[in-house]
Amino acid sequence: MRSHLLNDTTAEHYRRSVTEGVERVAARLAATDRPFTGVTADALAPLIERIDLDQPLHDTSAVLDELEDVYLRDAVYFHHPRYLAHLNCPVVIPAVLGEAVLSAVNSSLDTWDQSAGGTLIERRLVDWTTGRIGLGPAADGVFTSGGSQSNLQALLLAREEAKTDSLAKLRIFASEVSHFSVKKSAKLLGLGQDAVVSVPVDQDKRMRTVALARELERCKAAGLVPMAVVATAGTTDFGSIDPLPEIAELCDQYGTWMHVDAAYGCGLLASVKYRHRIDGIERADSVTVDYHKSFFQPVSSSALLVRDAATLRHATYHAEYLNPRRAVEERIPNQVDKSLQTTRRFDALKLWMTLRTMGADGIGELFDEVCDLAVEGWHLLAADPRFDVVVQPSLSTLVFRYIPRTVTDPAEIDRANLYARKALFASGDAVVAGTKVNGRHYLKFTLLNPETTPADMAAVLDLIAGHAEQYLGESLDRAS
Ligand SMILES: *Cc1c(COP(=O)(O)O)cnc(C)c1O
């Protein structure tokens, strides 16, 4: 049987294959009692290595059976309420349906003649998002592969708009807890080693604007060019939101591009309750949003939005076969002129399906729930003498560490926390993340699952304390 999508026969094949796959995955999802089995790479690698890729099975059911063994059984499941690790969300069903539609139709969003309505739908969603941000009538944007790509493109535009005769003179200002893609972008954009100036944060992990003002002044005095300030609206570790209005003032004063990295905090754009926390975002020159983080969309679904559509021209190149100049004159819409990618997924369809089914309020309520859950978690941690918690949550993360009653050696406490995280992962009972604060090892909950309850958090904290105590007990035995 031909296995591509072509005619009535293959349409029937498509229907059967996808239905069977959906049944398997649905059964698997319903059966997961833990977010992870705790499988190790050493245990899994031989199963995958053993498969002869040159000996196809010619049978979807058999391939799905095999997939159970090499992937589905041992995958990390973000929909499980005790997956509390990274910025991964459980996905809403309308978006999953959108994913199935977009890959079956397989539009490519570079040109009109590869997408038709897809291009217009993406444009509507870009306009919807710029409207929610408040970027004004000249705004535009494009869907991207993720926050890293959005940040790269934003900084490309800022670099092209900066007035300088030398890339070495350009400086980008971002807080010390901004995302690493800022530094990576600076490197990709050919800026110098010292291009990214790290601005200190206050005790709530928000950029200190007094320090930013000082750094901007120092930059100017040294004859350098402040190319961009990256304000983070929801830092990856702490969910902290930089003071956007004050940063906007400084950007005006120094004639600097203001980029807001709202990869995480963008969910507030749909929130009725907490939208005010990102007030000031409307003054940005560019904004990164990751719908695949706080809009409960499958990977990937992201966008870069800009205040002035004309700045997107810095990504425009023409190819005779694809987007010739005369197509511009004929006013045929295309998105490739705005994108770093050429062939590009119709990721926007997932957001479309979501908004048309649940509405923005539906998404905003889900995000509000996890923000409220984080506040409950903070109270749990603050009241628990076994733990030290870093900052009150602005979004939905909690950074904390286990502190034993008897041990005071900070290095030993570090090791106990590292051990607890690993042991928890190996057990598969829960998955939590880790990070460093002031040089010390901490643990992190990223709460993006509205199904997670305070009881889940309490149970996971008990598990963490148990593993840490076990480590310290064994460590004492080793010493004696
Ligand atoms: C996740 C994240 C990014 C990167 O986004 P990807 O979609 O993973 O590429 C950028 N900035 C912040 C603040 C993030 O949390």
What is the value of pTM for the model shown? 0.96
Task: Locate the ligand 1 atom nearest the alpha carbon of residue 151 and give its number.
Answer: 10
Q: What is the pLDDT of residue 322?
A: 86
Cα gap 190→91, rounded to integer Å? 37
Specify the 3-state DSSP secondary structure of 179: coil
Residue nearest to atom 10 of ligand 1 (CA): 147
Give 5's pLDDT tier (boundaries 50, 70, 90). Answer: low
Task: Locate the ligand 1 atom nearest the alpha carbon of residue 302 and give its number.
Answer: 7
149 CB-contact burial (10 Å; exposed 0-12 / middle 13-18 / buried 19+):
buried
- Mutational pocket test of ligand 1: of 88, 236, 396, the residue with most ligand atoms within 8 Å of the beta carbon: 236
Task: Locate the ligand 1 atom nearest the alpha carbon of residue 235 and give its number.
Answer: 13
Burial 96-110 (b: 16+ CB within 10 A, else e): bebbebbeeeebbbb
- Evaluated on CA atoms 47, 53, 57, 60, the torsion sign reads positive
What are the tens digits of pLDDT across the range 274-319? 999 999 999 999 999 999 999 999 999 999 999 999 999 999 988 8
Task: List the single range of 37-41, 325-329, 425-429, 447-451 with lowest mean pLDDT.
Answer: 325-329
Give 331's pLDDT tier (boundaries 50, 70, 90). Answer: confident
Taking 90 as the threshold, does the pLDDT of residue 9 lie above it? Answer: no
Measure 263 CA to ligand 1 centroid, in angstroms: 5
What are the tens digits of pLDDT across the range 422-480? 999 999 999 999 999 999 999 999 999 999 999 999 999 999 999 999 999 988 888 87
- Mutational pocket test of ligand 1: of 181, 259, 268, 287, the residue with most ligand atoms within 8 Å of the beta carbon: 181
Cα gap 246→204, rounded to integer Å? 16
Task: Locate the ligand 1 atom nearest the alpha carbon of residue 232 and give its number.
Answer: 13
Task: Locate the ligand 1 atom nearest the alpha carbon of residue 300 and give its number.
Answer: 7
Task: Locate the ligand 1 atom nearest the alpha carbon of residue 292 and give its number.
Answer: 7
Show the tokens assigned to 195. 């291009």
Measure 174 CA to ligand 1 centroid, in angstroms: 14
CB of 168 closer than 8 Å to CB of 201:
no
- With a Cβ cut-off of 6 Å, ligand 1 is lined by 87, 146-148, 151, 179, 181, 232, 234-236, 261, 263-264, 290, 302
Give 2's pLDDT tier (boundaries 50, 70, 90). Answer: low
Show the tokens assigned to 463. 């598990």
Taking 90 as the threshold, does the pLDDT of residue 201 lie above it? Answer: yes
Q: What is the pLDDT of residue 293?
A: 98
135 phi/psi in degrees, rounded to 5: -80, -10
- Mutational pocket test of ligand 1: of 86, 143, 144, 148, the residue with most ligand atoms within 8 Å of the beta carbon: 148
- Mutational pocket test of ligand 1: of 207, 260, 288, the residue with most ligand atoms within 8 Å of the beta carbon: 288
Give 380's pLDDT tier (boundaries 50, 70, 90). Answer: very high
Q: What is the pLDDT of residue 3?
A: 58
